[in-house]
Amino acid sequence: MFTGIVTDLGEVLEISGKGDVLFKIRTSFDIKQMPVGTSIANNGVCLTVIDSGSDWFLVQASEETLNKTNLSYWKIGSRVNLERALKIGDELGGHIVYGHVDGVAKVVSICPENDSLRFTFDAPQHLKYFVASKGSVAIDGVSLTINEVNDTYFGINIIPHTKKVTTFGSYVIGSLVNMEIDMLARYVARLLENDWK
């Protein structure tokens, strides 16, 4: 599990393979603390470290993962939001994020709002019922509060710090982002669809 608080902005160094794909990611994390088998959130996708070097680690993404996330759009030089797995006793600064992406949303507008930027996203139709004003969502692994909802569209505000230390600084209209809905919303929806008579 993760918290949606990005702690490193990595970079894709190499991409290889077909079907299942290997990604070599540069990081400033202490590689000695990341043995093979470590879980890392990469743009919100939980992937397992299978090899590492002085300033990089290697992960493998299955074809299923590539089909359900924005990882298939990565190129050499793409920036990646990175987060180590939550440890017992760690500060929970965001919300519980599992690293299981539910769908890919699209940036439809970016507007200045005081010192912040208001990003509006178009969510996949099947996720719209899980998005609520003042609820939580993870976008490319970043824990965010939803400010407004209108059918499949929802808006969030990004402060300058978040723009600087995450991939939000590179988004343009049309950018595709990984979206993980809040687990609480998922379970409430599941309960409501059952007949408890």
147 lies in the same domain as 176: yes
182 lies in the same domain as 115: yes
Look up tokens 């343009």; give the residue.
172
41 lies in the same domain as 69: yes
What CATH number did the domain enclosing 61 receive? 2.40.30.20
User: Is the pTM here over 0.95, yes or no?
Assistant: no
Residue 74 lies in a domain: yes
**Closest C-alpha to 106, from 5, 176, 51:** 176
Q: How do the pLDDT tens digits run along the chain, 197 residues long? A: 898 899 999 999 999 998 899 999 999 999 999 999 999 999 999 999 999 999 999 999 999 999 999 999 999 999 999 999 877 767 776 778 888 999 999 999 999 999 999 999 999 999 988 898 999 999 999 999 999 999 889 999 999 999 999 999 999 999 999 999 987 777 776 667 765 44
Residue 40 lies in a domain: yes
Look up tokens 């470290």; give the residue.
49
Q: Return the beta strands (E) in the chain as ranges.
A: 8-16, 21-26, 39-42, 45-52, 56-61, 79-84, 103-113, 116-122, 136-139, 142-145, 148-150, 153-158, 176-181
Domain count, the chain: 2
Amino acid type, 132: A
185 lies in the same domain as 128: yes
pLDDT at residue 197, rounded to an integer: 45
DSSP H/E element including 187 = helix 183-193
Its domain, for residue 64, covers: 8-84
